[in-house]
Structure 1
Amino acid sequence: MKINLFTTTFLVALSSVCAAQTKFQPQDTEFYSPKPPVVTLQAQIPSDAIILFDGKNLDQWESSKTAGQAAPWTIEHGTLTVKPSTGDIQTKEKFEDFQLHIEWKSPEKVKGEGQGRGNSGIFLQGRYELQVLDNNNNPTYVNGQAGSIYKQRPPLVEVHAGSDQWHQYDVIYKAPRFNKDGMLISKATVTVLHNGVLVQNNTQIEGTTEYIGLPKMEAHGAGPIILQDHGDLVHFRNIWIRPL
């Protein structure tokens, strides 16, 4: 068999690697520090999570219309409900990268169609909307349905729940990065599980959520979680977040 120079070089390199490998011991690639922090589950909530809403009060929230003004939405039987015409509410604390859990349910009396049916939204860093919308027999544009990054990315699949059942969103979000001059280094990305089903898989967010026109890329730092008042009596519960 004829062996060319490339093959000879490759075999020599391979034998060198194999010889070097034999010098390793198992403990050479075992690390014991730094140890990851210990997190336990307390009532299905990670022990290091910030509780944003546990059914008791809106101490973590304020009106989006006027900073410092109490959030005006309604709490009844442990459920937070949009109070139409009062405006959005937002977290007092601001976040960058995070894991977010939030549960939502359509109004008891669902009316209208398309975008006028059980509409709300969850704005990540106050800019990028994860759509909340009743999706039981409710055709609409796919990048505006439940589980979409509004007007940008439709969900991978459409996940339904019964009309009297709660939906769950579990969100892993990485904020965009900008340099000191405000130039974009990397765009935001988001992964979303809707009722345990993957609907956004490390999806790139192109910019701000715009009802008319294209997304805009604006340099910014940490931002709040905003819940949208779209005029429908959408319900929320069990909201927590883990800064990453």
Structure 2
Amino acid sequence: MIKKLILSVVVLSFFGCKETVKSNDVSESPLDTISNISNQEKEPTKPEETEIWEPKPPKVNLGKNRVPSDAIVLFDGKNLDEWIVAEDSTAAKWILNKDGSMTVNSGSGTLQTKRNFGSIQLHLEWKSPTKILGKGQSRANSGVFIQQRYEVQILDNNDNDTYVNGQVGAIYKQSIPAVNAAVPTGEWNIYDIIFHTPEFDASGKKIKSGTMTVLHNGVLIQDHFEIQGAVAYIGWPTNEPHGKAPIQLQDHNDGSKPSFRNIWVRELKS
């Protein structure tokens, strides 16, 4: 009888300690209140018990062309002050147009931002020439490179087939777009890109892949794709360690020159 009593006390003590540990593991952060609601000792019975009031998100206003007030404007049609030539860091030499756009000046070099960026939301608008020139990869070919190395392809694919991991909206040679959402040749396309930068440890080893989400004319075509590494025209992607880096717009130098307008970026937390 005494042995049974001692055993019962030990068992009850064990489960009591276990319950204590469990309760201590519950996060006390107010942001975890909703997600951990099933772990609460008492189910909320009033709406206000699951309401969070602080901190309040900052207010962002939309200005001309619906540019958010917390965005960095990279091109608004007035000048090329935010850009340099990627190859030699000289002044940008692309063509400024009266309609507030700029056009690739073939052979003058790829454009690169003067600023470096990490994780971002990027908005840009582009169009191919109305007059159809070239075919395959030589029709209005360009690309937007995030951190100089992760490319979203720009190309006129209307009645113009090419390899699908290099078509419009592809993350070049890595991810085929879910659909082709391009507008007719000569009309303005819109890219909205959400990019989260990869992470590297002290030894230079990649410990977290970067991701890319792309909307083409409001249609989701890349859904949180894990980037394999820097784009490569030949061979496999590479993963050299890096930090913040510029955005680039490619001069493909093929004669069929796309135009760009309304380019802005919002910096995000990684």
TM-score by length of 2: 0.81
Confirm whether residue 185 of structure 1 aligns to residue 174 of structure 2.
no
Q: CA deviation at 1:22?
A: 4.2
Which residue of structure 2 aligns with residue 122 of structure 1? 144
Q: Structure 1: which 4+ aligned runs deviate by more than 4 Å?
A: 22-26
In 2, the alpha carbon distance for the partners of 1:225 and 1:19 equals 47
Which residue of structure 2 aligns with residue 8 of structure 1? none
In 2, the alpha carbon distance for the partners of 1:71 and 1:196 equals 30
Q: CA separation of 1:40/1:195 partners in 2, compared to 1, >3 Å: closer, same or farther?
A: same
Q: Higher helix share goes to which structure?
A: 2
Q: CA separation of 1:121/1:33 partners in 2, compared to 1, >3 Å: closer, same or farther?
A: same
Q: CA separation of 1:230/1:26 partners in 2, compared to 1, >3 Å: closer, same or farther?
A: same
Task: Work out which of the residue numbers 13, 17, 32 in structure 1 matches 2:53.
Answer: 32
Where does the alignment leave 5 or more consecutive residues of structure 1 unmatched? 1-12
In 2, the alpha carbon distance for the partners of 1:19 and 1:197 equals 40
Which structure has the greater CA radius of gyration? 2
Give the AA of the match of 1:130.
Answer: V
- What does residue range 195-210 of structure 1 map to in structure 2 within 5 Å? 195-210=217-232
Which residue of structure 2 aligns with residue 213 of structure 1? 235
- Superposition CA RMSD, Å: 1.9
In 2, the alpha carbon distance for the partners of 1:178 and 1:217 equals 9
Secondary structure at the counterpart of residue 223 of structure 2:
strand
In 2, the alpha carbon distance for the partners of 1:229 and 1:19 equals 58
Which residue of structure 2 aligns with residue 50 of structure 1? 72
In 1, the alpha carbon distance for the partners of 2:250 and 2:59 equals 34
**Which moved further from structure 2: 159-168 or 85-94?**
159-168
Which residue of structure 2 aligns with residue 237 of structure 1? 261
Percent identical among aligned pairs is: 50
Report how many residues are paired.
Answer: 229
Q: CA separation of 1:212/1:33 partners in 2, compared to 1, >3 Å: closer, same or farther?
A: same
Q: CA separation of 1:202/1:23 partners in 2, compared to 1, >3 Å: closer, same or farther?
A: closer
Give the AA of the match of 1:126.
Answer: Q
In 1, the alpha carbon distance for the partners of 2:124 and 2:200 equals 28
Give the AA of the match of 2:63.
Answer: Q
Q: CA deviation at 1:110?
A: 2.2
Q: Higher strand share goes to which structure?
A: 1
Confirm whether residue 156 of structure 1 aligns to residue 178 of structure 2.
yes
Which residue of structure 1 aligns with residue 196 of structure 2? 174
Q: CA separation of 1:19/1:243 partners in 2, compared to 1, >3 Å: closer, same or farther?
A: closer
Q: CA deviation at 1:26?
A: 4.2
In 2, the alpha carbon distance for the partners of 1:135 and 1:32 equals 48
Counterpart contact for 2:44–2:50, Cα < 8 Å:
no
- What does residue range 30-109 of structure 1 map to in structure 2 within 5 Å? 30-43=51-64, 44-67=66-89, 69-77=90-98, 78-109=100-131
Give the AA of the match of 2:133.
Answer: K
Per-residue deviation, residues 26-80 of structure 1 (Å, max 9, x unmatched): 444332222211111112111101000000001111110112x211111011111
Where does the alignment leave 5 or more consecutive residues of structure 2 unmatched? 1-18, 20-37
In 1, the alpha carbon distance for the partners of 2:68 and 2:42 equals 41
In 2, the alpha carbon distance for the partners of 1:194 and 1:235 equals 16
In 2, the alpha carbon distance for the partners of 1:26 and 1:103 equals 44
Give the AA of the match of 1:156.
Answer: A
In 1, the alpha carbon distance for the partners of 2:201 and 2:40 equals 45
Q: CA separation of 1:71/1:29 partners in 2, compared to 1, >3 Å: closer, same or farther?
A: same
In 2, the alpha carbon distance for the partners of 1:198 and 1:140 equals 21
Q: CA separation of 1:23/1:75 partners in 2, compared to 1, >3 Å: closer, same or farther?
A: closer
**Which moved further from structure 2: 39-48 or 220-229?**
39-48
In 1, the alpha carbon distance for the partners of 2:104 and 2:132 equals 14
In 2, the alpha carbon distance for the partners of 1:175 and 1:199 equals 19
In 1, the alpha carbon distance for the partners of 2:177 and 2:238 equals 21
In 2, the alpha carbon distance for the partners of 1:58 and 1:18 equals 55
